[in-house]
Amino acid sequence: MIHKRAIAAFVTAAVLAGGCASLRLPLISQAAGSQAAGSQGAGSQGANSAAATSTATGQTVNVVNAPAAAQPTPTALPDSARIQFDQDEQVLINLYERVDPAVVSIVNSQNTGSGSGVQPAGQGSGFVISQDGYIVTNNHVVEGADQLDVNFSDGTSEQAKVIGTDPYSDLALIKVNRTGLSFVEMGDSNQVKVGQKVIAIGNPFGLDGTMTTGIVSAKGRTLPESAANVQGNFTNPDIIQTDAAINPGNSGGPLLDSHGRVIGVNTAIRSTGSSGFGAQPSNSGIGFAVPSNTVKRVIDALRVNGHVTYPYLGIQGQIPFSAAKNANLNLGVSRGVIVLGVAPGGPVAKAGLRPATVTRNGNIQQLGDIITAFNGQPIRDYDELIAKLTDSTKPGDTVTLTVFRDGKSVDLKVTLGERPS
């Protein structure tokens, strides 16, 4: 199950007040008589076999195989080989020291109506993007808040106001009344490669300033736009998948490259288990982040308008190629979007796009158009179509859809509408 809302950790007042008990493990020490690495074995006749010592009475006695003085366990690698390891560690240390001051904890407090006033209801993360107090986080971190408290790494706190939210991308822009803040550098998510090292900084389970590392596991994933409903009408494309540990409370925090640039906003995890912290979903090595290029586009719109508009084609459904092949349909092409339905009066309907004909029992009676290219660029599937649509167009733009129809390619001009709420 993919958990988006749950990644904003719900914490008790005790946790918020620092009342979480720590678990202390026993120390393990080396036994006093243990043999140091590199010393001779018990059966060897080395220098120690002839060693002598004196008793308190002054009598000299031979001591056989006296243990050598304890020595530190040597490093497994020579100093010359450790240089690269030390440099890698220093990169992470330096990155944390530079970026952590710009990462914040956000407490969402709400009025429950019980007469107890505004009470903490959830906690997440965020990061400062400008010296004058603008902060990026997830929409589900701030949703429903009557009060937002932003806690900084130096121990100070400020109340924030919401500038704008976008449930489709699960992003929000908030602002505190403070200047001179440390802020992050935004990276280019189009340059992200699978396998590259990434770092997450956030506040899992309320543990402020936690850094974890991993790699980019995959690109181009999709998530439903609704945190509460996995059957949302629209999907958020180009999501970055990572194995860096992300847990409840990491929501809204930055996913960074090794230079310390933000390449994504940690948003959701896929989890089949729960942790002991209030039985919340916990990390299973599959986390998701909204890419930085989406973040930049959305935040710019929120800063200016307080909301975001999205282009709209009006395709109501699509048929997976695997299902069409299993039904022995004669497709004629090997990839694309098999259109199941179109919204009446919508942009593609006005452009003349032909959907499949489906019987009452759900069987496909006749194929309609198969979208194979968008503005001249080949399309593999529906997710790629939506990604290209949202990345490069806006409502009112005219685009060209190339469709496979009756054994040949046909270009349709479509004037995009605005995605309905």
User: Catalytic residue numbers?
Assistant: 140, 170, 251
Nearest in space to 238 (alpha carbons), one of 126, 55, 107, 389: 389
Tell me the C-alpha to C-alpha distance, in Å, between residue 327 and each of 159, 320, 323, 370.
Answer: 58, 11, 6, 16
Tokens of 211: 């850094």
What is the rounded distance in angstroms from the CA atom of residue 363 to the CA atom of residue 359? Answer: 5
The answer to whether residues 170 and 139 touch, using CB atoms and an 8 Å cutoff, is yes
233 CB neighbour count, 10 Å cutoff: 12
- Provide the CA 364 distance to its chain's centre, in angstroms: 38
Token pair 């690495």 is found at 37
Nearest in space to 107 (alpha carbons), one of 16, 14, 18: 16
304 CB neighbour count, 10 Å cutoff: 10
With 0-12 CB in 10 A as exposed, 13-18 as middle and 19+ as buried, what is 116? exposed
- Provide the CA 65 distance to its chain's centre, in angstroms: 59
Tokens of 345: 């009066």
